[in-house]
Copies of this chain bind each other. A is one copy, B any other.
């Protein structure tokens, strides 16, 4: 008998029928003798509906109030799933973030979990109940409702698994595991039985969309056994995320291709080339709680430098506004950007011991006439920023070039 945390995303709970199917799956795990904690997202489409309503009220909805509105999506799902379970004779009890409580910091709409109290959940599990927790949400020290940002339900699930010392955290999604790349873009994409934590981290952060990056970080930090499974088909063991590097020397150099359209490039041109400028620019962006991804700095004309970085598209306009307000104090000649770009990355632990991986990537793209705007590299990945219209093409040719099919 194990303690299993299962997380079901928006598509898996997207209708009354699907919620009933989730209930059946949970009941099956329970019947196998396991204790089950279920984390659910809002029904698909619900969060978008609520965001749209909020934007009808304010161009930039107040973050505290946005969290009040958005958190209702998951709250509806937990109640409905508890009813569906009770309807098939499985005792269950739902909890919102504040009822657990899942304590977070004060960064509304992108809060971080600080602490989870496992007392009430343990008491319910002991009584044989299935515990259902609303993903994506928590409560901060002021007693305000907070949300963890898009995809935050994955993080909720892993954090709960860590707090409960669960035997496994199962993420049910509309794919049956982690693939070499998105099968919707490259039909030859292959499911990986295992993927290392580091690779998964890069695949998730680069937009393979299977898991939210923070959830993978959390799993790594707290050594949570994490598995990605399909909620739409029965059986199948999905992809297990491993935390030890395997010793297979024959390992392929590249294990997957990730891509991410949620990218916008911001250019700060003609700033004085002196110490402190990068900090002046990025410090302001960080203070506004905006995540920066790729960063490059070029030499500009006559003692000036050009500074570029990428942010999520939703932050593109706020960042431009912010920097235009600082234009004079930074001493920048021009601030512009482009929000029709995307990032494509090759990822693989084997890359460390294989030379020439990056150059092969660049050659492959050049042969297709795809211009590279920015490059960023780490030990196990190489990312390029390109025009978004080439995203599918670049992914397909790289998948082929690295024999991933």
Contacts of A57 in B (CB 8 A): 16, 19-20, 80, 83-84, 87
Tell me whether A94 and B72 are in contact in the complex, defined as CB-CB below 8 angstroms, given that A53-B16, A83-B54 are known contacts.
no
- A60-68, A238-246, A307-315, A336-344: which lies at the interface: A60-68
A357 interface contact, C-beta 8 A: no
A275 interface contact, C-beta 8 A: no
Chain A contact residues (Cβ within 8 angstroms of B): what range?
35 or more
Contact with B along A362-378 (1 / 0, CB 8 A): 00000000000000000
A127 interface contact, C-beta 8 A: no
- For A74, give the chain B residue with the smallest CB separation: B72
Determine if A75 and B69 form an interchain contact, defined as CB atoms under 8 angstroms apart. yes
CB under 8 Å from chain B, chain A span 53-97: 53-54, 56-58, 61-62, 64-69, 71-72, 75-76, 78-80, 82-84, 86-87, 93-94, 96
A281 interface contact, C-beta 8 A: no
Q: How far is the CA of A81 from the CA of B189 in the complex (A)?
A: 47
Q: How far is the CA of A82 from the CA of B145 in the complex (A)?
A: 14
Contacts of A19 in B (CB 8 A): 57
Contacts of A64 in B (CB 8 A): 93
Contact of A65 among B68, B83, B145 (CB under 8 A): B83
Q: How far is the CA of A145 from the CA of B96 in the complex (A)?
A: 10
Contact of A62 among B67, B68, B86, B98 (CB under 8 A): B86
9 closest A-B pairs (Cβ-Cβ)?
A: A69-B79, A57-B83, A68-B79, A72-B72, A16-B56, A65-B79, A65-B82, A58-B83, A58-B87
24 A-B contacts (beta carbon < 8 Å): A16-B57, A50-B76, A53-B76, A53-B80, A54-B79, A54-B83, A57-B87, A58-B83, A58-B84, A58-B86, A61-B83, A62-B82, A65-B82, A66-B79, A66-B83, A67-B79, A68-B78, A68-B94, A69-B76, A69-B79, A72-B76, A75-B75, A96-B145, A98-B98
Residues of A within 8 A of B (CB): 16, 19-20, 50, 53-54, 56-58, 61-62, 64-69, 71-72, 75-76, 78-80, 82-84, 86-87, 93-94, 96, 98-99, 143-145
